[in-house]
Amino acid sequence: MADLYLALLHHPVYDKNGAIVTTAVTNMDVHDIGRLARTFDARAFYVATPVPTLHRLVERIIRHWETGAGAAYNETRKEALALVRLAHDLDAAVADIEHETGRLPRLVATSAREGPARLSFASLRRRLGADGPPELLVFGTGWGLAAEVIARADDVLEPIRGTSGYNHISVRSAVAIILDRLRHDR
């Protein structure tokens, strides 16, 4: 079975005007995606930001739940946040995975936008069920991953499609939906 890793990139991502920006890390993203990583058996969840102040924020959040007052208050949160790792960028996450597994991960970018040659949920589910290289599922904050990240990916996962034509959900919701689709054949 291929190992699944998650990364949430805060740079380079787009803002609503199409400019490349660095977004803030949110406490909710760290908590909720860490819990999703644990629930759906990901090996690790990388919070990737080049901003040192945001690294300190994430370290403080993790420390609170792993060794601070939160550790005794909520052991399941401690277990989930143990999967959270910090990275300065996508390259650092890739290097960490390669160091841990001895293999370069396949990069699977996510996007709410339609496009050519999108990888289906079923195809990625099959790859995860087979022996193969680790799969790094890359999510973007803001208004999505910059084109340079998409271009670098080995695959781009098909978008989540709702029923109304509206397609701007939170990254936490997208991670939950995608992981459920990848781990369960529905």
Across all residues in the chain, what is the average pLDDT?
95
Predicted confidence at residue 5, as pLDDT, reads 99
- For 109, list phi and psi in degrees, rounded to 5: -80, 155
State the angle between helix axes of 27-39 and 52-66 in degrees (0 to 180), rounded to the nearest 10. 50
**Within 13 Å and on the Cβ side, how many CA atoms surround 163?**
0
**Which one has a higher pLDDT value, 34 or 186?**
34
Q: How confident is the model at residue 77 (pLDDT cuts 50, 70, 90)?
A: confident
What average pLDDT does this structure show over 15-25? 98
What average pLDDT does this structure show over 92-100? 99
Encode pLDDT of 38-76 as tens digits: 999 999 999 999 999 999 999 999 998 888 888 888 878
Q: Which residue carries 């803030």 as its tokens?
A: 24
What average pLDDT does this structure show over 163-181? 94
What average pLDDT does this structure show over 140-159? 98
- Structural domains for the chain: 4-183 (3.40.1280.10)
Whether residue 167 is predicted with pLDDT greater than 90 in this model: the reply is no
Whether residue 185 is predicted with pLDDT greater than 80 in this model: the reply is no
Q: How confident is the model at residue 186 (pLDDT cuts 50, 70, 90)?
A: low
Whether residue 94 is predicted with pLDDT greater than 80 in this model: the reply is yes
Helix, strand, coil % over all residues of the chain, rounded to 5: 45, 20, 40
Q: How confident is the model at residue 29 (pLDDT cuts 50, 70, 90)?
A: very high
Predicted confidence at residue 142, as pLDDT, reads 97
**Within 13 Å and on the Cβ side, how many CA atoms surround 123?**
9
What average pLDDT does this structure show over 170-185? 95
CA distance 117 to 156: 8
Sign, CA dihedral 95-146-2-37, equals positive
**Which one has a higher pLDDT value, 76 or 110?**
110
Q: Which residue carries 């819990």 as its tokens?
A: 35
Specify the amino acid at residue 84: V
